[in-house]
Amino acid sequence: MQQLNNKQILLGVTGGIAAYKAAELIRRLQDHGANVRVVMTKAAQEFITPLTLQALSGNPVHTDLLNPEAEAAMGHIELARWADLVLVAPASADFMARLAHGEAGDLLTTLCLATHAGIAIAPAMNQGMWRDPSTQANLQTLIDRQVAILGPAEGSQACGDIGPGRMLEAADIAALAAAQFQSGSLDGVKLVITAGPTREAIDPVRYISNHSSGKMGFALATAAVEAGASVTLIAGPVALATPERVTRINVESADQMHQAALAELGHCDIFIGAAAVADYRPANIAEQKIKKNDDNMTIALVRNPDIIAAVASHPQRPFAIGFAAETQDVLSYARGKLKNKNLDLIIANDVSDSRIGFNSDDNAVTVVAETSETAIAIASKQQLARQLLAVIAEHYYAKNVK
Ligand code: CTP
């Protein structure tokens, strides 16, 4: 299974004899579907050339913090934002010390400070260095800060010693990197998500619709599966591949989406309405293609059912979450919808900001509950979906004891 499909892994390589294994690690990460970019410290370049890792990753290797050319291509903050996971392998004793102390003297440590992504390190060093109390204290600091520690293994070392400090094998590191995305926070929970636009037919060849891409709903489905949930995605017409392990039900109109949603109740714990449902549909669908006659024409429209409101007022009501895409007074409109539709949470986003929303790849939202608001800063829809799911899980368990 490609557990790192569409995941962006920033691979940091530090100086140590195990640096040569970074070449194979890139391949193993790619086997899992990852897109890999490499950052090398100065010392790492003494052990393996940037050119080798560039050829394998298919991306330029980043080495300098203060190189204007590299910064112009992809600045260090952009790189920090790009990453879904920062994986440092091998992580030397020196790197662990610098990370534990929050230093930012080179590109890799700076990225580790700047990123919102998780950090995982695969230590590799002489067994004496590993056992040293300074390294062990740094290790504890990193563990306390939620840095994932992959390995090290025990065995014979390049220096002739035997003991702990060998870097794990590339295949094991890749598998553990993939496991970082499987949070388990929604283990056994059943989620239903609506996504994309709806299409309301006018005649056999025409329809009313909107520009929703479905990306946010699909990203939520992926993140929910990774969090351990079983997920049904009710999708309007969008050109997106079905995420792995997700059950997809394709629909066209709001009516069909409504029927599909109601059919899921009874075996649904959390319902997320991420679809941009058309509020109205033509009162009549012409049986034949409508021919042009007059200079003006009028299409009578009738209201569509409000799907999320119907779900939230159903006797078998799941934990219900809606979206509010607004262009002004975002939070107050969102609060209004939370109340009117009887929702547990509403996810508000400001679609007047052209960097986020409908057809863009990024989003920034505020999760509004009855008594709280949680803002999530701009990030790719994939990264945002993972953060959103963590907030959703917290609210869900506060109401439904685990
Ligand atoms: N929604 C729904 N069924 C509809 C309309 C909307 O389930 N017929 C859901 C959307 O999936 C989303 C939320 O309701 O979760 C959006 O709320 P809504 O008030 O319908 O948003 P707008 O259509 O933007 O409303 P308005 O024009 O009033 O701002």
How much is the pLDDT for 305?
97
pTM: 0.85
> What's the CA-to-centroid distance between 304 and ligand 1, angstroms?
10
**Alpha carbon distance 58, 176 (integer Å):** 23
Atom of ligand 1 nearest to the CA of 304: 8
> What's the CA-to-centroid distance between 276 and ligand 1, angstroms?
7
> What's the CA-to-centroid distance between 272 and ligand 1, angstroms?
12
Domain parsing of the chain, residue ranges: 2-178, 190-285+298-400
Q: Would the CB of 151 count as within 6 Å of ligand 1?
A: no
Q: Would the CB of 343 count as within 6 Å of ligand 1?
A: no
Contact yes or no for 108/44 (Cβ under 8 A): no
**DSSP structure string for 34-64:** -EEEEEE-TGGGGTS-HHHHHHHHTSPPB--
**Alpha carbon distance 213, 25 (integer Å):** 34
> What's the CA-to-centroid distance between 324 and ligand 1, angstroms?
7
Atom of ligand 1 nearest to the CA of 340: 19
DSSP assignment letter at 152:
P
Domain 190-285+298-400, architecture per CATH: 3-Layer(aba) Sandwich (3.40)
Q: Would the CB of 330 count as within 6 Å of ligand 1?
A: no
Catalytic annotation, residues: 159
Q: Would the CB of 53 count as within 6 Å of ligand 1?
A: no
How much is the pLDDT for 357?
64
At position 261, the amino acid (one-letter code) is: A
**Identical fold at 2-178 and 190-285+298-400?**
yes
**Alpha carbon distance 308, 341 (integer Å):** 7
**DSSP structure string for 81-110:** HH-SEEEEEEE-HHHHHHHHTT--SSHHHH
How much is the pLDDT for 200?
98
**Alpha carbon distance 337, 37 (integer Å):** 42
**Alpha carbon distance 31, 231 (integer Å):** 25
Atom of ligand 1 nearest to the CA of 275: 11
Q: What is the pLDDT along the chain (402 residues), one digit of tens a residue?
A: 578 988 999 999 999 999 999 999 999 999 999 999 999 999 999 999 999 999 999 999 999 988 888 888 888 999 999 999 999 999 999 999 999 999 999 999 999 999 989 999 999 999 999 999 999 999 999 999 999 999 999 988 888 889 999 999 999 999 999 999 988 889 999 999 999 999 999 999 999 999 999 999 999 999 999 999 999 999 999 999 999 999 999 999 999 999 999 999 999 999 999 999 999 999 999 999 999 988 999 999 999 999 999 999 999 999 999 999 999 999 999 999 999 999 999 999 998 888 876 677 888 999 999 999 999 988 888 889 999 999 999 999 999 876
Fold classification of 2-178 (topology level): Rossmann fold (3.40.50)
Residue to substitute in 255, 256, 265, 306 for testing ligand 1 pocket (most ligand atoms within 8 angstroms of CB): 306
**Alpha carbon distance 280, 366 (integer Å):** 27
